[in-house]
Amino acid sequence: MSTKKWFVLGISGATCSGKTSLANRLHKELENSVVIHQDNYFLPIDDPRHIKIEELNHFNWELITSVDWDKLHSDVLKLIESTPNGNTCSDTIDKNILILDGFLLFKCKVISDLCNRKYFLTLTKEQCWERRKGRVYNPPDVPGYFEKVVWPEYLKHIDELMKDKNLCKTIKFVDGSKSKEEIFQTIFAEIKKLLS
């Protein structure tokens, strides 16, 4: 007897590229799915591990060190090693699906390695700013944070991904400026095919 298998789907990309909307929509449409958001694992604001940008008097929330990856990894392992829905039939074709959403997912090797399928949503700087400027964060962005921190960190991050040829081959890059519906339909069709 073995537990039902988990199919792990990683959705990453630029800030405001539609990752969370896509993850939530897939979760709604895919039976036996669970979604975990990286944003729920940011270190508390009073955590001494945060890196402060003195010039802006604001923490850098774009760094891999701003997230409690140990906790996230532990929660993911607990979930995929569990027996979902009490189902222990090994002959079932229904897979359980874990949807991971976060802008730094593939930077964390242990998380990235768990993903059976990886998507990365891209945006141009202009598109990204257009969406980001209307968002309210907790803590709120300070003036200059996007220009001085968010975008440069994103460029650094995507550059690192591109340089890691083996990792890059496993990621499907998606134009995040397309309509949410088009992106969803394309990815949903691919996932259904992979699971059939």
Catalytic residues: 39
CA pair distance 90, 56, nearest whole angstrom: 55
Report d(CA 63, CA 50) in Å as an integer: 9
- Are 178 and 22 in contact, with CB atoms under 8 Å apart? no
Beta pairing partners, 42: 67
The two structure tokens encoding residue 90: 């090994």
CA distances from 16 to 20, 108, 123, 125, 134 (A): 9, 20, 9, 11, 10
Please report where in the chains the tokens 């990621």 appear, as a residue.
Answer: 171
Token pair 């359980």 is found at 96
Cα–Cα distance for residue pair 135/192, rounded to 1 Å: 32
Instruction: Say how far apart CA 33 and CA 155 lie, in whole Å.
Output: 31
DSSP 115: -
User: Which pair of tokens denotes residue 152?
Assistant: 């440069």
Q: What is the residue whose two structure tokens read 């397309």?
A: 178
| Identity at 41, one-letter amino acid code | Y
